[in-house]
A = this chain, B = another copy of it.
Amino acid sequence: MSVAYDCEPWSIGVASCGIADLEPERLAHRESVLALSNGNLGWRGVLDEGEPHGVAGAFLNGVFEEHPMPYAEEGYGYPEHGQAVVRVADGQVVRLLVDDEPLDVRTGALERHEQRLELRDGLVRRAVDWTSPAGRVVRVRSERLVSFEHRGVAAIRYAVEAVDGPVTITLQSELVADEPVPDQHPDPRVRDILAHPFEPLTAHALGAAATLVHRTRRSRIGVAVAMDHRVTAPAGVEPSIRTEAEADVARTTVVVRLAAGERVELEKLVGHAWSPDLEAHALRDRAEAQLAAAREDGWEALVRAQRARLDAFWACADVEVEGEPRLQQAVRFALFQLFQASARLDARSVPGKGLTGAGYAGHVFWDFEAFVLPVLTATAPDAAEQALRWRHATLDRARERARTLRLAGASFAWRTIDGRESSGYWPASTAAFHVNAAVALGAAQHVRATGDERFEREVGLEILVETARLWATLVRRDAEGRCHIDGVTGPDEYSAIVDDNAYTNLVARGNLLAAAEAAGRHPDRARDLGASDGEIGGWVVIARALVVPFSERHGVHEHSAGSTERERWDFAASRDRYPLHDHHPYVELYRREVGKQADLVLALHVAHEAFSPEEAAAAFRWSEAITVRDSSLSAAPQAVVAAAVGHLDLAADYLAEAATLDLDDLHRNTDEGLHLASLAGIWTALVAGFGGMRDGTAGLSFSPRLPEQLTRLRFGIRVRGQELRVDVRPERTEYRLADGPPIALRHFGERVELEAGAPRSMPTPPLPDPGPRPQQPAGRAPKPFREAFAG
């Protein structure tokens, strides 16, 4: 696949010349990459005119339809209802007619087409120079944004200049409702439900404004979408403006006659509101109130607010990398996507695809807490807090789920929109109890990073206590007093229902200890939660007794008890059958030694203190030989651990894979939305990988080492509200604290006291010989760094 986007440090976009160059077959991919969002509202990067499009869509975080879960054979505890994100009324469309000929990039002559996501401005800018089939020439310039300031508002400014004239320009600005999301589900009954999830409630039109109110038929969630317009025509030209609204469509039509060189500009504001409780009129009021506030600000203020928010974010969070411009672009793109996916969460979480597409049915997964949350905690801790508050708000559902499973405490959903488990294949979901530790350790880490004691009392402690209780009932104690967790599924999806998954046992250990520590800091609150000293002491005892499986025969840690004794997958025979799960049944995958993704390797990162350097090197080497990376969640953790064990070149290759996964569509499913966890992994591969950052219970530490492909790496994190910037060069690393009280960190184990305004420069020690480069399964080695970025 060719490199599709211009290489720019602060934007992502394509400048095309002619329709072939525009590559209409890649529209859906671009709509995901150029999607705008604020965490509450998302617009895919559809061309303003609506046609052609790949997969259109406007999404509100939390608006979903419910559907029955189909099972060929039922079982106790299987979720009865599923959930799927649905498209709300879409306000992106501004159609243009030039003397009655619609601007469609596939017709006429397209002299220029440029569409660009601006990472500092928080806008998508577009430029179209077009000659209609009848020969009329127009220049279109548009900007669109999803507001960080007004959480329900998106806006478009659409300007048309008549290069020759006179010409009649007609603009049709629309809200379009009840457009189905493309096939999301294997079951036709579910597809039928999701094809028309909304019933119309009311439709209103007045002046240049209109509002549609709908409700989902089963989940009974009301949604109002309102639009209003401001038209700027040349002096002396009076545009005709007319608005109509019916059940599923509202349209404002602007007609204006322009002379050569004249331009007309349409500002479109779209306001969104939703609620499972409110009546139609109240929803309408809310959507229109959103509009009113934005209209009061005016276009320029909306644009300035975007920039201001992003400036504040980039000031600390920016990652600067020298040596590969496409990597520079990719990591900023990733950070921007994480920022916009979480900017206005308000006690919700971030779905696997953010709001960039309907992939994975819009569900929030374990990957959020395991991959995305640590990045937000370091760069946008307020957003991290909101996401954790959402999990906390689902605690009652998690407790109910635990009761259903005959377990104590709380068992958080593996995939969900509203907190209820919505997975239909329990070996890969219910049995993956480690999601609970990811949530709990995410909360503990948030407290460490922010020092937010109130959060710990209100949110963190209860999550920790309830998940610790879950682990305590999952544990088996053997005759020697060692503790085991049997019959669970770790992060890897090519194994399931295993005993003593190393990752699971290690994060469970961390969870139990973190719960005990938090309870010790808030004994009164722990008592309120019913946690006696005996119960808390029990957690510590269990945590210390939890085994980590180790093969004496091979002298290496195991993915799970006995996993190294399994028959190794015949990788040579399956060269042309990736991803394996599309070509092989689970019954074959599960009984062999083959990893879809980082699992033990993830443990080597998140529980690094449990492994000596030699143990980590051996476990990494072993895992590399059996991991095929059929998951987008794999390359980044492999990069981190490759760097940690000294294989910097291999780490660079994995980083390149993570960095190109969405932009080069490596998994051929970016059409359905971006892989947010993989994007987060780009940051993690740089910061935890080459920066060597660890921020566990032992405190903040760095072991920065650059691969030869990179000459400099600068990044920043927030530590207890302060900004720490780290500047890594091959020979030295400089640590700089912007302001506030001093902090302590470690550099390659050496304690460094850092005061504001007094940067410390520390030398890079020599790299011990890491041995030969670990081998991957046949044909599954990552592309070399340079090659990956060459597309």
- Residues of chain A whose beta carbon lies under 8 Å from any beta carbon of chain B: 68-79, 82, 186-189, 404-407, 423-428, 430-431, 476, 478-479, 486-488, 496-497, 499, 553, 561-562, 565-567, 581-588, 590-592
Contact = CB atoms under 8 A, between A and B. Distances in A.
Smallest CB-CB A-B distances: 7 pairs: A72-B424, A487-B591, A70-B70, A77-B585, A476-B567, A486-B591, A73-B425
A404 B491 CA distance: 26
A76 B426 contact: no
Given A69-B72, A77-B587, A426-B585, 13 more contacts: A70-B187, A72-B82, A73-B425, A76-B585, A77-B585, A405-B587, A427-B427, A476-B566, A479-B553, A497-B591, A499-B562, A561-B562, A562-B562
A428 to B, nearest CB: 8
Given A406-B588, A497-B496, A499-B562, A424 B76 contact: no
A155 B539 CA distance: 72
Contacts of A479: 553
Contacts of A423: 72-73
A588 B497 CA distance: 10
27 contacts: A70-B70, A70-B71, A70-B189, A71-B72, A72-B82, A72-B423, A73-B186, A73-B423, A73-B424, A76-B581, A77-B585, A77-B587, A189-B189, A405-B585, A405-B587, A405-B588, A406-B584, A406-B585, A407-B588, A427-B587, A430-B585, A476-B566, A478-B565, A479-B553, A487-B591, A488-B591, A497-B590
Contacts of A561: 562
Contact of A590 (B73, B487, B592): B487
A73, A430, A567 pick with most chain B CB within 10 angstroms:
A73
Given A478-B565, A497-B497, A499-B562, A585 B70 contact: no
Contacts of A487: 587, 590-592
Contacts of A488: 587, 591
Given A565-B478, A566-B476, A591-B488, A72 B582 contact: no
Contact of A431 (B431, B565, B587): B587
A261 B63 CA distance: 77
B591 A76 contact: no
A404, A487, A565, A588 pick with most chain B CB within 10 angstroms:
A487
A406 B594 CA distance: 16
Given A187-B71, A565-B478, A587 B426 contact: yes
Contacts of A82: 72
A75 B591 contact: no
A566 to B, nearest CB: 6
Contacts of A189: 70, 187-189
A73 B562 CA distance: 28
Contact of A74 (B76, B186, B406, B553): B186
Given A476-B567, A487-B590, A404 B73 contact: no
Nearest to A82: B72
Given A486-B567, A497-B497, A567-B476, A584 B76 contact: yes
A731 to B, nearest CB: 47
A293 B588 CA distance: 53
A587 B78 CA distance: 11
A721 B488 CA distance: 53
A426 B72 CA distance: 10
Contacts of A71: 70-72, 186-187, 424
Contacts of A566: 476, 486
A681 to B, nearest CB: 24
A245 to B, nearest CB: 36
Contacts of A486: 566-567, 591-592
Contacts of A476: 566-567
A363 to B, nearest CB: 12
A188 to B, nearest CB: 7
Contacts of A582: 76
A486 B430 CA distance: 23
Contacts of A78: 72
Contacts of A586: 75-77, 426
Nearest to A584: B406
A487 B486 CA distance: 15
Contacts of A79: 72
A76 B406 contact: no
Contacts of A499: 562, 591
A82 B427 CA distance: 22
Contacts of A73: 186, 423-425, 428
Contacts of A404: 585
Given A189-B189, A486-B567, A430 B587 contact: yes
Contacts of A407: 588
A408 to B, nearest CB: 12
Contacts of A405: 585, 587-588
A583 B74 CA distance: 13
Nearest to A581: B76
A546 to B, nearest CB: 14
Given A585-B406, A585-B426, A72 B70 contact: yes
Nearest to A187: B70
A656 B478 CA distance: 38
Contacts of A425: 72-73, 75
Contacts of A75: 425, 581, 585-586
Contacts of A581: 75-76
A326 to B, nearest CB: 35
Contacts of A69: 72
A76 B499 CA distance: 25
A423, A431, A497, A565 pick with most chain B CB within 10 angstroms:
A497
Contacts of A430: 585, 587
A488 B566 CA distance: 13
A76 B567 CA distance: 21
Nearest to A561: B562
Nearest to A585: B77
Nearest to A485: B591
A68 B187 CA distance: 9
A424 to B, nearest CB: 2
A405, A476, A586 pick with most chain B CB within 10 angstroms:
A586
Nearest to A498: B497
A566 B72 CA distance: 29
A587 B421 CA distance: 14
Nearest to A69: B72
A590 B427 CA distance: 11
Nearest to A75: B586
A584 B405 CA distance: 7
A110 to B, nearest CB: 40
Contacts of A567: 476, 486
A72 to B, nearest CB: 2
Nearest to A425: B73
A75 B585 CA distance: 7
A404, A565, A591 pick with most chain B CB within 10 angstroms:
A591
A414 to B, nearest CB: 11
